[in-house]
């Protein structure tokens, strides 16, 4: 079966070989305080740095999930006020996390399936602007341009980008973002259980400032603790050594393939699927505005034909992702990650094309 579910995703095609090698080398039981682990940590972070062009003023840390990182971002970077751009289920949960942590978040809302129009006014008290780059529930992407403008217009605020279902595709301007995070079971095609947090020196300063003022920034996964251990290429706790190893290897594989090629192929695959959806008699793209259409999670509004289309795909060995939440009976979601080949997307498009 070809799995187009947006997460957990189909594994990157090299993962199983790397797992086999890891067990042969005893990686799952090495000490996280050993030189061998420090080398793995360093390879994982440096391969990511090269792959995503992350500047040297950013550090890279590991958590268990992007869900954990919603919490860590808000604990470490917000005393009271964050402002959240919300246009779907996941950006909403980021906002709700702030409420659960007793912060006072502001909400800027767009309808499901839409990005944010016109001038976005951010309260001047805002310490952090929280942006979900790719709304996995509905397939909307916020433009890099919008992120850049928000950063420039609000120099007093930090900018945090949830890039869960988009990386490694997008190329962020790292001088306009302070924190980016994702989990590895989407674009990187790894088993779920690892989150990656990319933060610059301003985030460290902010966390230190909150701590000095008596606000708790969490315990082991606070930025002070991350930094102290990260300097030694270590983690504060016993981490998921195996998955950090796998991330190092998959990032190396992607480097070899070339990020330019990965991005170009992503755009090609997205183009042929959106092209088909635009003219298909049984379905249409849920996201109308071309510039808001996600390249990595493509959502088809199938109306009453969802079951029929789903069954036709399953019959040809393809599993689409279900629609999310209220859209479960009408939508199908198609992940377009680096592990999905051009041939797989061509088969998908051909199969959908044959449906009338």
Closest approach, Cβ 220 to a second copy, in A, equals: 5
Instruction: Give me the sign of the Cα torsion angle 217, 221, 225, 230.
Output: negative
Burial class (CB in 10 A: 0-12, 13-18, 19+), 288: exposed
Within a 10 A sphere around the Cβ of 224, how many other Cβ atoms? 15
Looking at 27-35, 84-92, 148-156, 254-262, which segment touches a second copy (CB under 8 A)?
Answer: 27-35
Our finding on whether 46 is near a second copy (CB under 8 A) is no
CB closer to a second copy, 99 vs 278 = 99
Our finding on whether 271 is near a second copy (CB under 8 A) is no
Question: What would the two tokens of residue 201 be?
Answer: 């020196």
Considering only residues 175 through 194, tell me which ones interact with a second copy, judged by CB under 8 A.
183, 185, 191-194
The residue within the footprint of a second copy, chosen from 101, 144, 272, 276 (CB under 8 A), is: 101
Closest approach, Cβ 75 to a second copy, in A, equals: 9
CB closer to a second copy, 16 vs 311 = 16
Round to whole Å and give the CA distance between 198 and 226: 11
Residues 213-252 vs a second copy: string with x where CB under 8 A? -x-x-xxxxx-------------xxxxxxxx---------
Query: Residue 221 phi/psi, 5° resolution?
Result: -100, 45
Our finding on whether 139 is near a second copy (CB under 8 A) is no
Round to whole Å and give the CA distance between 70 and 40: 25
The residue within the footprint of a second copy, chosen from 21, 42, 100, 267 (CB under 8 A), is: 100
Query: Please, where are the H alpha helices in the chain?
Result: 15-24, 35-52, 66-77, 89-100, 144-153, 201-212, 223-230, 241-257, 259-279, 306-315, 342-353
Round to whole Å and give the CA distance between 76 and 224: 9
Closest approach, Cβ 63 to a second copy, in A, equals: 8
Round to whole Å and give the CA distance between 356 and 354: 7
The residue within the footprint of a second copy, chosen from 2, 40, 60, 63 (CB under 8 A), is: 63
CA 282 to chain centre: 30
CB closer to a second copy, 10 vs 141 = 10
**Which stretches of the chain bind a second copy, using CB under 8 A?**
1, 3, 5, 7-11, 15-16, 19, 23, 26, 28-32, 63-65, 67-68, 70-71, 96-97, 100-102, 183, 185, 191-194, 214, 216, 218-222, 236-243
């Amino acid at each position: 079966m070809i799995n187009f579910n947006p997460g957990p995703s189909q594994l990157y095609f090299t993962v199983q070989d790397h797992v086999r090698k890891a067990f042969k080398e005893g990686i799952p039981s090495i000490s996280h305080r050993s030189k061998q682990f420090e080398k793995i940590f360093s390879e994982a972070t440096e391969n990511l740095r090269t792959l995503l062009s992350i500047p040297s003023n950013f550090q890279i840390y590991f958590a268990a999930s992007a869900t954990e990182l919603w919490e860590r971002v808000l604990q470490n970077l917000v005393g009271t006020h964050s402002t959240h751009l919300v246009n779907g289920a996941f950006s909403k949960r980021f906002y709700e996390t702030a409420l659960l942590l007793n912060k006072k978040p502001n909400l800027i809302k767009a309808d499901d399936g839409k990005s944010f129009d016109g001038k976005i006014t951010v309260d001047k008290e805002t310490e952090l602007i929280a942006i979900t780059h790719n709304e996995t529930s509905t397939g909307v992407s916020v433009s890099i341009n919008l992120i850049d403008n928000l950063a420039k217009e609000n120099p007093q605020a930090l900018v945090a980008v949830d890039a869960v279902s988009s990386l490694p595709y997008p190329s962020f301007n790292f001088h306009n973002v302070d924190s980016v995070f994702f989990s590895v079971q989407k674009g990187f095609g790894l088993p779920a259980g690892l989150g990656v947090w990319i933060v610059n020196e301003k985030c460290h300063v902010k966390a230190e400032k909150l701590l000095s003022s008596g606000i708790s920034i969490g315990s082991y996964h606070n930025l002070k603790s991350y930094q102290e251990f990260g300097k030694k290429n270590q983690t504060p706790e016993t981490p998921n050594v195996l998955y950090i190893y796998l991330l190092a290897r998959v990032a190396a594989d992607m480097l070899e393939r070339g990020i330019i090629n990965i991005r170009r192929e992503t755009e090609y695959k997205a183009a042929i699927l959106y092209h088909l959806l635009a003219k298909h008699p049984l379905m249409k793209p849920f996201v109308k505005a071309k510039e808001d259409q996600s390249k990595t999670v493509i959502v088809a509004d199938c109306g009453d034909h969802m079951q029929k289309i789903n069954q036709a795909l399953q019959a040809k060995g393809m599993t689409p992702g279900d629609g999310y939440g209220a859209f479960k009976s009408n939508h199908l979601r198609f992940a377009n990650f680096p592990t999905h080949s051009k041939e797989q997307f061509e088969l998908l498009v051909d199969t959908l094309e044959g449906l009338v």
